[in-house]
Amino acid sequence: MASGPDVVTCGEAMLLLLAEPGVPLERAAHFRRSVAGAESNVAMGLARLGHRARWLGRVGADPAGRAVLRELRAEGVDVAHAGVDEQAPTGLLLRDSHPHRAIDVQYYRSGSAGSRLAPEHIPAEAVAGARLVHISGITPMLSPTAAAATDRLIELARAAGAEVSFDPNVRRKLGGAAQWAQTAGRLLREADLVLAGEDELELLTARSADEAAAELLDGRAHTVVIKRADRSATALTAGGRWDQPPYPVPVTDPVGAGDAFAAGYLSARLRGLSESRALAEAACVAALVVQSATDTDGLPSADGRERALAAFEDGADPVHR
Task: State whether residue 23 is helix, strand or coil.
Answer: coil
Please answer whether residues 95 and 16 qualify as being in contact, where contact means their C-beta atoms are separated by less than 8 angstroms: yes
Please answer whether residues 14 and 114 qualify as being in contact, where contact means their C-beta atoms are separated by less than 8 angstroms: yes
CA–CA gap between residue 166 and residue 205 (Å, rounded):
15
CA end-to-end span of the chain: 34
CA–CA gap between residue 54 and residue 72 (Å, rounded):
10
Please answer whether residues 43 and 9 qualify as being in contact, where contact means their C-beta atoms are separated by less than 8 angstroms: yes
How many residues make up the chain in this entry? 321
Please answer whether residues 91 and 107 qualify as being in contact, where contact means their C-beta atoms are separated by less than 8 angstroms: yes
Residue positions annotated with a catalytic role = 259
List Cβ neighbours of 202 (8 Å cut-off, separation of 6 or more): 208, 209, 212
**How many H-runs (helices) and E-runs (strands) does the chain carry?**
10, 14
CA–CA gap between residue 32 and residue 23 (Å, rounded):
13
